[in-house]
Structure 1
Amino acid sequence: MTQKEEAYNEIAALIERFSEQFDSYKKAEYNETLTRRDFIDPFFKALGWDIDNHNGYAEAYREVIHEDKVKVGSATKAPDYSFRLVGGKRLFFVEAKKPSVVVKDDIVAAYQVRRYGWSAKLSISIITDFEEFSIYDCTKKPIPTDKASVARVKYITYKDYLKEFDFIWNTFSKERVLQGSFDKFIIGTANKKGTATVDKEFLQSLDSWRTQLATSISWNNKDLDEDEINFAVQQTIDRIIFLRIAEDRSVEPYGNLKIALKQGDYYQNLFSIFKEADDKYNSGLFNFKKDQISKNLKVDNKAIKAIITELYYPVSPYEFSVLSVEILGYAYEQFLGKVIRITPAHHVKIEEKPQVRKAGGVYYTPQYIVEYIVKNTVGKLVDGKTPKEISKIKIVDPACGSGSFLIGAYQYLLDFHKNYYTGNGKISKGTKGNTLTPEGNLTTAEKKRILINNIFGVDIDVNAVEVTKLSLLLKCMEGETSASIAHQLSIFHERVLPTLDENIKDGNSLIDTDYYDAQLDFGDERKIKPFSWKNTFPEIFKQQGFDVVIGNPPYLKERGSKEIFEPILKSRIGKLYHQGKMDFWYYFVHRGIDILKSNGYLGFITNSYWMKSDGSSKLIKRISTELIIDTIVDFDNYKVFEDVSGKHNISIYIKGHDSNQNCKVLTINKGNPSSNIETYKTEMYQE
């Protein structure tokens, strides 16, 4: 008998049992826990899922995560099941109900499961009490007043399970999910028309909060200049978001920020919460020795109340416990493309930065691009190494923006170390020297160690630097609980997060501090921000530089961008490598070569016109003499960046020279490469 036939028989037996005692199961006292144990668990077990963890995996490796229900007012804190692939990638949530609930008409349950699925950027999720089985399209933004039928793509009752068995098996059985049928169902079912993805909605929320705060702060703090207002607004938003995410991850008490709205000056109440956070987290986010502006701010109660209220159920569509750092990164990258301008009358204007406007917008790197570049640079360097050896590897993004590449590199290292220790180490008993928790996750100390040792970034925008730090700290804090943080404070006397001030720096990656040797006017230093790589990272350059340089450098033609190119022309890198008709990103390849050690990897995504451009001869000459071309991924006509025209490619190089080195070329000329770039035709060329 095949596994599918066995599943059919097991589900048929469940249906028969449910039918025979239907009236007793429909009574209110037959609760959700019993429903899960008697029917929902066996249903998914029949479909091949390891519901009870018979394989004995550590918690971090389980196929199915059972969430504990935590009631917060009338809101349910988590769906009952999270179904995952090996490695932890979520597929879908399942919300369980008892049979006395009419799932078909339950507005609250539908909103909750859609809110979770939408926030986690999953395509579908399910509500079931076994009697009914509702599948929801989670790409549509959930609204509390939506009827239960909104975004429901399929509804089945237990009487139809056998008639619909082929569909159920082909879509939700573990065997078929691993073969890709689940993905096909998503592509065929989800109605993308008019969808509002969580990252784009969150960007709109960020823009709204920025406008409200900027308006209030500029009007009530007329002694602050534009830069100080931009800084104050950004820091306030970052701190609120960090703490709100901490609440939904059960690190902070739920509703803690709402305490600020009870009486008096709401902003000063909020600032008191920020100061308490500094004692616990130690991140630069709450460093009030460095930030002398925030403590004296005057902000209208109305503005603070509006922002805080929008962050909580049911007004907020966001479920922050499942809102990934990568999703936040997309929203922040776009957010950072704009800046607050204050008119002489102290009115607020939000404008695109000149370089963003001229480049045609912000190019946020899709996650599959980040993962491919990280795997083929960082991945190749760490393969076969021990954690001790890996601790010496230094990874940098010289134009880090909101930190997408650094988050990708950090996540890769976290996964590598977790897999290494679970294969080679023993489960932690709770001492400081251990690297794993009893659940099979990396300890806080180990996550901090990896972050501080391996991850570095530079950006000319101070607000981008702060967002990168925020994103990395949130990634570092994943898996923490209020108990684990209290344990760390009481046993090890350590605050939970590291400071990243020595890792993520604000400065101009392209212009060294010797820029001013020939300059008499120092008035524009704040704008140009000269930066010395060797003075800032002396220990790294004692080891000859970075091991990996990755990123998505800014694209910009010189024509119409004189004020951006002009300072570079006066610098050493401009004098050496400037050329007519060049693109701004060429300079970042040159700088990448400068700071990369021998045999290190450089991986960028850029536009692809440089290979045949009149303005790239200096770039091509330097690549051909100082780098080995390892991989080129040519996307041809495939649109990598949403709303951006042009052709793009990934280029991965090794610093050195080897005339026998083969170059791998992948051409994407049809289909969608986001699932796996490596499935495309590979050609091998010899340099």
Structure 2
Amino acid sequence: MKFEAIDEKEFLNPYYRKKPILEAELNEFIKALKDYKTSLENNLKNNEDSLVANALSKFFENLHFECEIKSIHKGNSGIDLALKKDKQIQVIIEAKLPHSKEFFSQSKPNCKALHECILYYLRERKALNSSLKHIIITDFYRFYIFKADLFEELFNKNKYFKEAFENFESKNSLFKGNTDEFYKECEKLLSSEKYLDSITRKDLFDEPSLKGVFIDLKPILEQEKPSFSKLKPVFKIFHKDFLLSEFNPNDANLLNNAFYKELLYILGLCESKQNSKLIIAKSQESEEEQGTFYTAINSKLKEENFETILKLLILWLNRILFLKLIESNLVRFNDDKNLKFLNFKKIPDFDKLSELFFEVLAKEKSTRKKSEFAYLPYLNSSLFEKQSIENTLEISSLSNDLKLFYYKNTVLKDDKCKTKKGQVGLLEYLFEFLDSFDFGSDDEQSEILSQKELISSSVLGNVFEKLNGYKEGSFYTPSFITSYMCKESITKVVLDKFNTQFDLDAKDISELRKSLRKEDKKAQKELLNSIKICDPAVGSGHFLVSALNVMLSIYDELNLFDEEFYLEVQNDEILITGRKGEFIEYKRPSTPKDKAHLIQQELFHTKKDIIENNLFGVDINPNSCEITKLRLWIELLKHSFYQSFDDENYHDLKTLPNIDINIKCGNSLVSYFETGKSLSHYPNIKERMSKYKRIVKDYKEGFYTDKNLIAKEIKNLQESFKNFCLKDKFNKEIKQLTNGANEYSKKYGDFLADEHHDEKFKSFFSKNMFEFSFDEKVAIKEFANLKKEYDNIFNLESNHPFEWRFEFPEILDDDGNFKGFDLIIGNPPYIKENDNKDLFTNTKKLRTYQGKMDIWYHFVGRGFDMLKNNGYLAFIATNNWVTNSGAKKLRNIVLEESQILSLVDFSSFMVFDSASIQTMIMSFQKTKPPKNYEFHFAKITTQTPIYEDVINLLKNEKTQNNEILSINLTPKKFIDKTLNFTKSDYEELFNKIQKYGKFYLEEREVAQGIVYPQENINKK
């Protein structure tokens, strides 16, 4: 077996690599290196043990590691140096003297040092140590570092090494605990064909190897003042964050408070606590009319309207942040900082910014006027089309004279590295602020003071979720939750579809891959394209982004990509590597056959297919819909590629498709028509449905000459379906209203109607050409009666009803019948009826409705309505529905209409940082449930859980801080009852108590506290 050195850039988590280094920590590290050099020089003539004790262990102790020299396990030979945490060995270090023949090297990896590490690792694993993170082999200057996962795969899980170790440990074997004999066996195995053939490979060309990072400290120790760029990778690798895996990659996707707070300040907003909820409000600076964006907008409006201002803020911020990401792409693709354009030098006023939006990015190269931005790509995105709200106010109308004091805790520094103070122009401040963060340009900083914190697309999503939830206080679902839920659910959908289509019985994706034939690749892709996934409360689109990445992973796992590469998803980011584990990064190619270019192209088109065919979202908040579209465009933008190579001065990046049509605005809970409503008697239904599907597809693909015209055509078709169904449902009532309105118009013309706000209601009336006198009091009374008739028919309009029946042609068959989704997934809103009664107004006819309920219960009931038979529903929501009296109807529906697959209860772990809400992940399959079945139940039991407890729960690993059970359920037994899940040891006892126990209380013992709110009040 050979050693394969991996570049530190590929060895480290990309988020960790970009995490800024604190100056104080770096200085401490430099001092530790100097002390280590001195200790080495003073002890070089001594033996290994002396060097470990007096130099190596001191070095790691100075870096705040807990060290144990000659760590002995049950009387066996000791590990030279172990790095520990919570009394568990996490890093094994094997040390050899410089120039030792037993030392590891690239030319001689099969050596005693490696054999010893294998033995120590296997001993630790036998002792049930699952905390091992890294293995290090060193001669005190050179360090070979391996991940414990690699040793797990190559040795602990390998049958030949397992057999060798068992023989070594057995008292009856020839080894009899002789380490030299075990090392000889290791040497033989590592070079044997049978062992090498037994290693699982990614493909036939992937040669088994020991992959690790190599660090040589000698050149750094010899330099008096090593550069920051030389120190940075060494600092990162010898840090506890890396060696003990203390860095949590999810932290990179958490809200960056410095970014968020200062951005709010510039926008003129703040967080305010209202009824124990954090909401977004007008800031004190905006109240004082300081030069914030809020003030800039408000000063141009006739009257202040918070919702209008926020909508404009989000729209313009969407565009600016999107441009920041385009700028980062251009810089990264070309390694050229001169391509930066989002700065005050190039955009000195709001007029110039407006020109960039509408005269450059929204227009094809051939139709543009001469501009210094001519090199920028045409985007073909509705994001850069003027929105209706911009008829109220355009960004070019904002004052360029507004100034704002720097935020008291600003991240911006002056030339002397001191916090900036004083006043600055509003637009200049925004650009300078955004430029102080890294939006993915991958710009390696050569100086510690020029480091920038990474702002990932997930961080942006988190920011928008908070801005967007200004009324209720929205909760952003962390990446580790969305990724887990999407992977678990989508995998089930894929297995069901493929097993049915190809008559298989695969239990997992790996087994499925082995069962599929390569020649069926086209059919397999079409089958994946047929999967329909919907988030009915889409928020910032985080679940759809995770679903996109899980689908990409499945394409990779099923070998459906044409190009050869390995794909890994880490925290909503896609990492692409070649056969040797090297990162493949896209740079502007000189030829269309460039390897990275072909990969980038394939990823872009696959992402586009997934977004167009698989992903759908609905939200009542129009801002949410715009943010979700932005998130999906950003995901595509990450793999945008150059389309032409003939003009060096123009960056002809692939234009973005019209993916926005899959994200729709409306109330998921309110509809006029049931999904089972037949359209069979609709005239020419097959032709109409065929046209509907075709023009929606044409819209997505850009097959049109006028975008507004085709969008109008789609809307007209949807309206025709809706009007037909309305007339079908309310034929008598609409006829009566029409006749009444006609009679009214004959007598009074359009009196009162012409000024009415409801356009649909106005359309029933007509203007009378003749003027005549009439009794206005009588007219007012008749008009009120007609309005009452209208409201009885169209009573849902104020709740923005969403017609699932025909809004998405992708889930309708050729006859217009509703087929449904394969997966409904998300984090529905948690709102009690007492907190927002208006929200429940038109939901009382839903079968999940009852007093003391939560709005998310409705999303489960409606979710089942939207699913195909045998489809899946996965939500994260409050965990008290299993026992809450207000969830009795919900429990009954779950028990009667589905099979519970999994309940994962986080108990005391607060998934949402800003909310003290206990949550659980629930997974159901829409089906007639068996009389008796088992499902997976997992729960955190400790009152003080940490992040690691959650990860163990999601990995299904039993610990002392959780319980993981297989619950045997007979659904009928629990109708109208609460669901209590207990350890099987106690189940029989509880059942007996429930069946035979009789408890009586004396009258004086019966009491009831204050119950608020009361559902029924009886007069006495």
TM (normalized to structure 2)?
Answer: 0.47
Question: Counterpart in 1 of 2:491?
Answer: 379
**C-alpha contact 1:444 1:496 (8 A) present in aligned 2:** no
* Rounded Cα–Cα distance in structure 1 between residues aligned with 2:253 and 2:525: 41
Q: Percent identity?
A: 27
* Rounded Cα–Cα distance in structure 1 between residues aligned with 2:940 and 2:851: 30
> Given the superposition, is the C-alpha separation of residues 283 and 492 from structure 1 closer, same or farther in structure 2, using an over 3 Å criterion?
same
Matches within 5 A, 1:339-354: 353=471
Letter in 2 for 1:308: F
* Rounded Cα–Cα distance in structure 1 between residues aligned with 2:475 and 2:865: 25
Q: Over residues 578-636 of structure 1, what are the superposed CA-to-partner deviations in whole Å (9 max), with x where a residue is unaligned?
A: 10111111011111111011111100011111111111121111111111111111222
**Which of 819, 843, 863 is residue 592 of structure 1 equivalent to?**
863
* Rounded Cα–Cα distance in structure 2 between residues aligned with 1:324 and 1:152: 28
**Which of 621, 633, 636 is residue 461 of structure 1 equivalent to?**
621
**Which of 285, 301, 308 is residue 431 of structure 2 equivalent to?**
308
> Given the superposition, is the C-alpha separation of residues 526 and 277 from structure 1 closer, same or farther in structure 2, using an over 3 Å criterion?
farther
Matches within 5 A, 1:177-192: none
**Which of 795, 800, 803 is residue 529 of structure 1 equivalent to?**
800
* Rounded Cα–Cα distance in structure 2 between residues aligned with 1:435 and 1:612: 57
Letter in 2 for 1:174: F
Shift of 1:669: 2.1
Shift of 1:330: 1.7
* Rounded Cα–Cα distance in structure 1 between residues aligned with 2:527 and 2:557: 16
Q: Is residue 298 of structure 1 aligned with residue 378 of structure 2?
A: no
**C-alpha contact 1:83 1:92 (8 A) present in aligned 2:** no
Q: Over residues 327-367 of structure 1, what are the superposed CA-to-partner deviations in whole Å (9 max), with x where a residue is unaligned?
A: 222222112122xxxxxxxxxxxxxx1xx1xxxx4222122
Q: Is residue 50 of structure 1 aligned with residue 6 of structure 2?
A: yes
The alignment covers a number of residue pairs equal to: 534
- Secondary structure of 2:398's counterpart equals coil
Q: Over residues 469-528 of structure 1, what are the superposed CA-to-partner deviations in whole Å (9 max), with x where a residue is unaligned?
A: 1111111221435x4587999999995212233111111111114699776289998862
Question: Counterpart in 1 of 2:328?
Answer: 248
* Rounded Cα–Cα distance in structure 1 between residues aligned with 2:648 and 2:493: 35
> Given the superposition, is the C-alpha separation of residues 480 and 306 from structure 1 closer, same or farther in structure 2, using an over 3 Å criterion?
same
**Which of 966, 983, 1006 is residue 684 of structure 1 equivalent to?**
966
Question: Counterpart in 2 of 1:200?
Answer: 257
- Secondary structure of 2:872's counterpart equals strand
> Given the superposition, is the C-alpha separation of residues 91 and 380 from structure 1 closer, same or farther in structure 2, using an over 3 Å criterion?
same
Q: Is residue 551 of structure 1 aligned with residue 826 of structure 2?
A: yes
**C-alpha contact 2:643 2:652 (8 A) present in aligned 1:** no
**C-alpha contact 1:626 1:656 (8 A) present in aligned 2:** yes
**Which of 466, 474, 493 is residue 334 of structure 1 equivalent to?**
466
* Rounded Cα–Cα distance in structure 2 between residues aligned with 1:488 and 1:657: 61
Q: Over residues 353-396 of structure 1, what are the superposed CA-to-partner deviations in whole Å (9 max), with x where a residue is unaligned?
A: 1xx1xxxx422212211112111111222244822211010111
Question: Counterpart in 2 of 1:117?
Answer: 19
Matches within 5 A, 1:231-246: 231-246=311-326
* Rounded Cα–Cα distance in structure 1 between residues aligned with 2:870 and 2:806: 23
Question: Counterpart in 2 of 1:103?
Answer: none
Letter in 2 for 1:256: F
* Rounded Cα–Cα distance in structure 2 between residues aligned with 1:448 and 1:431: 23
Q: Is residue 287 of structure 1 aligned with residue 385 of structure 2?
A: yes
Shift of 1:577: 2.6
Letter in 1 for 2:399: D
TM (normalized to structure 1)?
Answer: 0.68
**C-alpha contact 1:626 1:655 (8 A) present in aligned 2:** yes
Structure 1 gaps of 5+ residues are 4-45, 52-63, 65-80, 94-115, 119-135, 138-145, 339-352
Letter in 1 for 2:824: V
**C-alpha contact 1:636 1:667 (8 A) present in aligned 2:** yes
**Which of 652, 655, 666 is residue 507 of structure 1 equivalent to?**
666
> Given the superposition, is the C-alpha separation of residues 412 and 435 from structure 1 closer, same or farther in structure 2, using an over 3 Å criterion?
farther
**C-alpha contact 2:876 2:919 (8 A) present in aligned 1:** yes
Question: Counterpart in 1 of 2:758?
Answer: none
**Which of 571, 590, 602 is residue 442 of structure 1 equivalent to?**
602
Question: Counterpart in 1 of 2:760?
Answer: none
> Given the superposition, is the C-alpha separation of residues 562 and 213 from structure 1 closer, same or farther in structure 2, using an over 3 Å criterion?
same
Structure 2 gaps of 5+ residues are 41-54, 61-80, 84-90, 94-133, 137-144, 153-236, 269-291, 364-377, 401-424, 443-453, 496-511, 517-523, 566-585, 675-725, 731-788, 959-963, 970-1020
Of structures 1 and 2, the one scoring higher in RCO (CA 8 A, sep 6+) is 1
Matches within 5 A, 1:636-651: 636-651=907-922
> Given the superposition, is the C-alpha separation of residues 171 and 641 from structure 1 closer, same or farther in structure 2, using an over 3 Å criterion?
farther
> Given the superposition, is the C-alpha separation of residues 486 and 657 from structure 1 closer, same or farther in structure 2, using an over 3 Å criterion?
farther
Q: Is residue 229 of structure 1 aligned with residue 352 of structure 2?
A: no
**Which of 233, 247, 258 is residue 343 of structure 2 equivalent to?**
258
Question: Counterpart in 2 of 1:83?
Answer: 11
* Rounded Cα–Cα distance in structure 1 between residues aligned with 2:887 and 2:856: 11
* Rounded Cα–Cα distance in structure 1 between residues aligned with 2:593 and 2:616: 25
Question: Counterpart in 1 of 2:534?
Answer: 396
**C-alpha contact 1:485 1:496 (8 A) present in aligned 2:** no
Question: Counterpart in 2 of 1:615?
Answer: 886
> Given the superposition, is the C-alpha separation of residues 261 and 423 from structure 1 closer, same or farther in structure 2, using an over 3 Å criterion?
closer
**C-alpha contact 2:439 2:456 (8 A) present in aligned 1:** no
Letter in 2 for 1:306: Y
Question: Counterpart in 1 of 2:445?
Answer: none
> Given the superposition, is the C-alpha separation of residues 479 and 537 from structure 1 closer, same or farther in structure 2, using an over 3 Å criterion?
closer
* Rounded Cα–Cα distance in structure 2 between residues aligned with 1:637 and 1:459: 29
- Secondary structure of 2:833's counterpart equals coil
- Secondary structure of 2:543's counterpart equals helix
**C-alpha contact 1:221 1:298 (8 A) present in aligned 2:** no
Shift of 1:568: 2.6
> Given the superposition, is the C-alpha separation of residues 545 and 152 from structure 1 closer, same or farther in structure 2, using an over 3 Å criterion?
farther
> Given the superposition, is the C-alpha separation of residues 683 and 196 from structure 1 closer, same or farther in structure 2, using an over 3 Å criterion?
closer
**C-alpha contact 1:244 1:320 (8 A) present in aligned 2:** no
Question: Counterpart in 2 of 1:345?
Answer: none
Shift of 1:287: 2.0
- Secondary structure of 2:875's counterpart equals strand
> Given the superposition, is the C-alpha separation of residues 653 and 298 from structure 1 closer, same or farther in structure 2, using an over 3 Å criterion?
same
Question: Counterpart in 1 of 2:550?
Answer: 412
* Rounded Cα–Cα distance in structure 2 between residues aligned with 1:526 and 1:520: 9
Shift of 1:437: 4.4
* Rounded Cα–Cα distance in structure 1 between residues aligned with 2:528 and 2:559: 13
Q: Is residue 278 of structure 1 aligned with residue 362 of structure 2?
A: yes
> Given the superposition, is the C-alpha separation of residues 523 and 590 from structure 1 closer, same or farther in structure 2, using an over 3 Å criterion?
closer
- Secondary structure of 2:912's counterpart equals coil
* Rounded Cα–Cα distance in structure 2 between residues aligned with 1:467 and 1:209: 20
* Rounded Cα–Cα distance in structure 2 between residues aligned with 1:443 and 1:273: 28
Deviates more, 1:590-599 or 1:318-327: 318-327
